[in-house]
Chain A
Amino acid sequence: MACRQLWASRAASYLRISLFHRSFSNVLNNLKYADSHEWVKVDGKSATIGITDHAQDHLGDVVYVELPEVGTAVTQGDGFGAVESVKATSDINSPVSGKVIEVNEELSNSPALVNSSPYENGWIIKVEMSDSGELDKLMDSEKYTKFCEEEDSSH
């Protein structure tokens, strides 16, 4: 990670453009990732879902999280809620299909947990998966890291 940053800095100074002086987003190895920037942690048939460090960083201060009701059905790739920052609203899509078994009520009082702890305390929902085969459609940490870099460089 560090050498990539150094290389990018040198490339940036060659082209005389600015590079943000912040570290690259955190990507955890034991999670799966959707191309809409959600992560999923699998534990048997249960999947915990949230948004990635890359997503919360681009979003800015989260001020509100719209949570679904427990029992709601979710479908892979479809929206189930929203995350609001000071300036923008973004839909959250479920990386897997199934039924919502738990929502993170803490986010009603402390939406900023999504920023400070996107993979732990900022988790959003827990789903009982209907088809664990769907996980194969998701990216692993390495693919997701590359995906983020490509996406950022095309903007």
Chain B
Amino acid sequence: MRGGLWQLGQSITRRLAQGDKKAVARRCFATDSDLKKTVLYDFHVAHGGKMVPFAGWSMPIQYKDSIMDSTLNCRQNGSLFDVAHMCGLSLKGKDAVSFLEKLVIADVAALAPGTGTLTVFTNEKGGAIDDSVITKVTDHHIYLVVNAGCRDKDLAHIEEHMKAFKAKGGDVSWHIHDERTLLALQGPLAAPVLQHLTKDDLSKLYFGEFRVLDINGSQCFLTRTGYTGEDGFEISVPSEHGVDLAKAILEKSEGKIRLTGLGARDSLRLEAGLCLYGNDMEQHITPIEAGLTWAIGKRRRAEGGFLGADVILKQLADGPSIRRVGFISSGPPARSHSEIQDEGGNNIGEVTSGGFSPCLKKNIAMGYVKSGLHKAGTKVKIIIRGKANEGVVTKMPFVPTKYYKPT
């Protein structure tokens, strides 16, 4: 057996010293030191984390429990993820809102202070540069989190446009929160456990809302959001308090909340029907094709004013030629780039993410198909290693979401 097994990132931090081969062991360390480490690195290793390279960082793909058990535990109890590799930044200034609106599809002006939303940074062709959760802290302060793998690209893009905007007299500046670390706490126990660590009433903080508050003695930025479909939070904490906060959360949960790695994180988001930028969304895919039309503010649909608006507004009027849909299939799990065919054997699309769902015990996948063939219940064939397997277009999320919303 070869190939995929090692792609999983078997760069496990286990080095067996072999007497005279100590020199070899040291050389192995040299490659690892090219990877960035979060403040929780030692904490992960001490808890049995299997560290792998991810977007230039050394991150835990899993711990002692399997990816399946870890995924199930998140939905049954809860998970704590180190997401410090993602990039948090603040845009400040009188014109911060109008500046950001040039770059994203959201109606940022309409966001109430203390609320946020998922949005997409677009390029001139209407394609996605990255997806991001943005939050309006105040009318003059927006807090954003972007993907680790897109950090350099996103920051260069924002900086370029900021320079042009300021040259015309616009008032905006930025601060990249490298002094803070980001943790994600998800699952049914997330709120009860976090409540033990703060005096603020979390029952009044709903999905998409943001607050600056004291948690476990540190000033944190708290957003009720996540990437698993469960109720939960993303917590931005000063880096020097990151380990203490992680320890406190795990202790308060009496072991029910577990440190969870990127492997389970991917299974969870796939079950929740959420896009992974780089797989389900890329430079050439528009938000409409990706099924994120809802994220384009109503006013923005009428006015445009963001990069690629002409392409996107045309797609809104005419309909896109391809659409992102979910699939359940039999046989082996569908993987990225598997071909999708109609029952007649004609190519109709491609899988962009797929795997085995630990919760449903079925193969689930997402991909793009020609418009017209995107309705739930449409039978398809998914080609894996030369063989056709039965699939059916399925509504997402695959596992019902549990976002905390007012009744």
Cβ of A55 within 8 Å of any chain B Cβ, yes or no, is yes
Known: A20-B64, A60-B67. 20 other contacts (CB 8 A): A14-B17, A15-B25, A17-B13, A18-B48, A21-B48, A51-B1, A55-B5, A60-B62, A60-B66, A60-B263, A63-B356, A64-B363, A84-B332, A86-B263, A86-B358, A87-B263, A89-B332, A90-B3, A93-B2, A155-B12
Closest A residue by C-beta to B332:
A64
Contacts of B266 in A (CB 8 A): 87
Question: Contact: B45 with A18, CB < 8 Å?
Answer: yes
Q: Which of B322-377 contact A (CB under 8 A)?
A: 331-333, 335, 355-356, 358, 363
Are A12 and B356 CB-contacts (below 8 A) given A58-B5, A89-B332? no
Closest A residue by C-beta to B71:
A86
With a 10 A CB-CB cut-off, give which of B45, B67, B356 has the most chain A CB atoms: B356
Question: Contact: A90 with B4, CB < 8 Å?
Answer: yes
Cross-interface CB contact of A86 among B12, B25, B356, B385, cutoff 8 Å: B356
Q: How many residues of A contact B (CB 8 A)?
A: 40
Question: Contact: A91 with B1, CB < 8 Å?
Answer: yes
The 0/1 profile, CB within 8 Å of B marked 1, for residues 22-66 of chain A is 100000000000001110000000000001000100111101101
Q: Which of B194-233 contact A (CB under 8 A)?
A: none
Chain B nearest Cβ from A81, distance in angstroms: 10
The 0/1 profile, CB within 8 Å of A marked 1, for residues 39-61 of chain B is 00000011010000000000000
Question: Contact: A17 with B15, CB < 8 Å?
Answer: yes
Chain A nearest Cβ from B353, distance in angstroms: 12
Interface of A is mostly: mixed
Chain A nearest Cβ from B244, distance in angstroms: 21
Contacts of A70 in B (CB 8 A): none
A20–B16 alpha-carbon span in the complex (Å): 11
Cβ of A136 within 8 Å of any chain B Cβ, yes or no, is no
The 0/1 profile, CB within 8 Å of B marked 1, for residues 56-96 of chain A is 00111101101000000000000000111111111111000
Closest A residue by C-beta to B267:
A86
Question: Contact: B18 with A153, CB < 8 Å?
Answer: yes
Question: Contact: A90 with B263, CB < 8 Å?
Answer: no
Question: Contact: B356 with A55, CB < 8 Å?
Answer: no
A152–B18 alpha-carbon span in the complex (Å): 13
Cβ of B11 within 8 Å of any chain A Cβ, yes or no, is yes
Question: Contact: B355 with A36, CB < 8 Å?
Answer: no
Are A153 and B5 CB-contacts (below 8 A) given A84-B332, A86-B67, A86-B358? no
A19–B28 alpha-carbon span in the complex (Å): 15
Contacts of A22 in B (CB 8 A): 64
Question: Contact: B8 with A88, CB < 8 Å?
Answer: yes
A143–B48 alpha-carbon span in the complex (Å): 28
Cβ of B314 within 8 Å of any chain A Cβ, yes or no, is no
Contacts of B18 in A (CB 8 A): 153
Q: Which of B293-321 contact A (CB under 8 A)?
A: none
Are A82 and B15 CB-contacts (below 8 A) given A63-B356, A90-B1, A90-B5? no
A29–B49 alpha-carbon span in the complex (Å): 32
Closest A residue by C-beta to B22:
A15
7 contacts between A and B (CB under 8 A): A8-B17, A20-B64, A59-B5, A60-B67, A61-B66, A86-B67, A155-B11
A21–B28 alpha-carbon span in the complex (Å): 21
A87–B267 alpha-carbon span in the complex (Å): 9
A133–B333 alpha-carbon span in the complex (Å): 37
